[in-house]
Structure 1
Amino acid sequence: MKVVSICLCLFFMFTTIDVNSQAYLDDDNPWILGFGLNVIYDSGEGINGVFDVKDNYNYSNPFRIVIEKRFKNDYGFEVAGSFNRFLEGKNVNGSIAREDTNFFGIEGMFKYYLTNLYLNKYRAMYEGYMSSGVGVGFYDGEMATTANVGIGINYYITESLRLNGQVTGNFSVDNSKVGSNYIQYNLGFIIRLKDDDFN
């Protein structure tokens, strides 16, 4: 019973944080900087290989950086760069990789923060969004183009700091020999910068 009481107290404490601590004016559409890690699933096995982390997931040097501009409160546009490496012996695009391949991807994504439809955006502990856009991947310098769709969530830590999680499906749209469909999982932190910070 004591544990339940403590959990309830913590719940109410975190869900009744002062409005001022998260208040953003309607005309306050911040710049956002982000950094974190990414994991790429590109086995070519569809959902059949999702749980085989050792053989089907790539997470060597998995750094990711993001810059985003929010506008009209509910929308945003981000440009992100991801670094990773496909290691020899992993399942990549339906076959076993014979050598390590360095990967760099850059994408532009339009985002819609759909939780603003039913949550008070000035008090909510999280915000969820859908995204779509295009990307370019470089596999040891060879280029491939993708169309991307994704979902993500930002969880409140402080007024300017959020924890971000995102899943993006990347679908090959050209005839590149190196391109393929893959899923990218991202986890990191974002920092909100108000327009006033640049004045």
Structure 2
Amino acid sequence: MKKVLHFAIVLFFAVSFTGNAQDLELTAKDTIVKSSWMVSLGINVVDDSGDEFGNLLDIEDGWNMVPFPSRISVGRYFKNGVGLEAIGTYNRYKEGKVIDNEINTEDIDYFGIDFRVSYDLNQILGETGFFDPYVGIGAGYTDANNEGRGTYNAVVGFRTWFSDHWGLDFNSTGKWAMSTENATNHIQHAVGVVYQFDIEKGLSQKGEEKLALWQELEKEQQRVQDSIAAKQRADEEARLLAERLEKEKEAARLAEAEKNKKESEQSRRTSIENELNALGNVYFALNSSYLTTRDKELLDKLVVILETTPSLELEISSHTDSRGTDKYNQWLSERRAKRTVDYIVDKGIASDRVEPSAFGETRLVNECGDGISCEEEKHQKNRRSEFVISQY
């Protein structure tokens, strides 16, 4: 009776809290984005008038911008509120604007690339709906007023979201030159369209409260049902025990069958691996990707294995010896992989069953690396195509 009364009290408060029992059901509104990738495209405004924190709204004389998208960024944002972002910007100091306390006499291009670490203030303030404020610090390189300089950066901004994926980003960044000689400090404002993807969502604070309350309701309801059904469970105990034993026997039988199946598959896989090992590798002449008669005979045998084992898929990895440049050897190994795979496909094997991969001189089988004098026989062992089971 006490358990029934407890459940009734919990249910009363739950309905009072939500106004309607159906409000306890979790919906999309109870979830928020916890982590994602973001890209944005927009415009930027540079204020380099010489007093970066004075006359902030001196648009007419101090703000510089171009009439087309001039800012792009990409960033990764994590569950703990930390974000890592790379930003590229372009602008143009206009003739007649105030630059470093002087009237600019000609149009001058502005380039900037910056990297920053940001922090989502919702981690402190609590979820604020569509309003998503943040702060950050970072560093970068800016070429402004024909003067390149490294900069320390500080940013404050906010994003406002129209959906899980689309929103607007507004921010202002202070940039302080690492070297003050002939390099000015300035402010850069930006606004852009932001798109986020690879989203991981989680419950909002309200959603977590609803989930906790719903779980409490379910627990209380289960306790009441368990109390009511106690006598029925006692009567059913013997029958359930017999059923459980029968199920355990069936499970043991299925487990034994599965074990035998896996052992059979492993035995067949081992047999195929032995067949592949017995074939050996395709070996190429120096600076060549052409297949010899011996190589084609070997590949014909490989085709037979693939035909008799339809579930077998292979990685064809090709390599070179250490002679030649890294770039050339990578290209040559790609040619060797392609010629090997093309020959197999021409014999009627589906192309999705033989995947080419090329490693250049990165996987030598002996000590014959760069600068090591070796006999040609040893170099030959590195100029090869190998067959590796990727799926069976």
TM over 0.5: yes
Separation in structure 1 between the aligned mates of residue 198 and residue 56 of structure 2, nearest angstrom? 39
Separation in structure 2 between the aligned mates of residue 191 and residue 22 of structure 1, nearest angstrom? 21
Equivalent residue for 2:173? 168
Shift of 1:116: 2.2
Equivalent residue for 2:163? 158
Q: State the SS of the aligned residue for 1:189.
A: strand
Equivalent residue for 1:5? none
Contact persistence 2:93–2:145 (CA under 8 A): no
Shift of 1:51: 3.4
Contact persistence 1:83–1:103 (CA under 8 A): yes
1:147 aligns with 2:152: yes
Equivalent residue for 1:20? 28
Contact persistence 1:60–1:85 (CA under 8 A): yes
Equivalent residue for 1:180? 184
Q: Which has the higher helix share?
A: 2
Equivalent residue for 1:45? 51
Separation in structure 2 between the aligned mates of residue 83 and residue 22 of structure 1, nearest angstrom? 40
Give, as a single letter, the amino acid of the residue that structure 1 aligns with 2:151.
T
The count of aligned residue pairs is 174
Separation in structure 1 between the aligned mates of residue 146 and residue 99 of structure 2, nearest angstrom? 17
Separation in structure 2 between the aligned mates of residue 183 and residue 64 of structure 1, nearest angstrom? 15
Percent of paired sites with the same residue: 26
User: Greater RCO between the two (CA within 8 Å, min separation 6)?
Assistant: 1
Q: 1:35 to 1:21 in 2, by over 3 A?
A: farther
Separation in structure 2 between the aligned mates of residue 176 and residue 92 of structure 1, nearest angstrom? 16
Equivalent residue for 1:64? 71
Give, as a single letter, the amino acid of the residue that structure 2 aligns with 1:156.
W
1:132 aligns with 2:137: yes
Separation in structure 2 between the aligned mates of residue 40 and residue 72 of structure 1, nearest angstrom? 32
Flag as ranges the 4+ runs of structure 1 deviating above 6 A. none
Q: State the SS of the aligned residue for 1:168.
A: strand
Contact persistence 2:121–2:134 (CA under 8 A): yes
Kindly provide the CA deviation profile for residues 119-164 of structure 1, in whole angstroms up to 9, marking residues without a partner as x: 237xx21211111000211237642111010111011111101111
Separation in structure 2 between the aligned mates of residue 31 and residue 166 of structure 1, nearest angstrom? 18
Under a length normalisation based on structure 1, what TM-score does the superposition of the two structures give? Answer: 0.78
Contact persistence 2:135–2:155 (CA under 8 A): yes
Contact persistence 1:60–1:86 (CA under 8 A): no
1:80 aligns with 2:91: no
Contact persistence 1:130–1:151 (CA under 8 A): yes
Say which one has the larger Rg.
2
What are structure 2's unaligned runs of at least 5 residues? 1-25, 201-392
Q: 1:100 to 1:22 in 2, by over 3 A?
A: farther
Moved more, 137-146 or 77-86: 137-146
Q: 1:38 to 1:32 in 2, by over 3 A?
A: same
Under a length normalisation based on structure 2, what TM-score does the superposition of the two structures give? Answer: 0.41
Shift of 1:21: 5.2
Separation in structure 1 between the aligned mates of residue 147 and residue 30 of structure 2, nearest angstrom? 44
Shift of 1:50: 2.8
Separation in structure 2 between the aligned mates of residue 88 and residue 43 of structure 1, nearest angstrom? 13
- CA RMSD in angstroms comes to 2.3
Q: Which has the higher strand share?
A: 1
Equivalent residue for 1:55? 61
What are structure 1's unaligned runs of at least 5 residues? 1-17
Contact persistence 1:138–1:144 (CA under 8 A): yes
Equivalent residue for 1:3? none
Contact persistence 1:22–1:159 (CA under 8 A): no
Q: State the SS of the aligned residue for 1:117.
A: helix
Equivalent residue for 1:115? 122
Q: 1:176 to 1:21 in 2, by over 3 A?
A: farther
Kindly provide the CA deviation profile for residues 60-117 of structure 1, in whole angstroms up to 9, marking residues without a partner as x: 2561001000123411010001110001111001111121110010100100001222
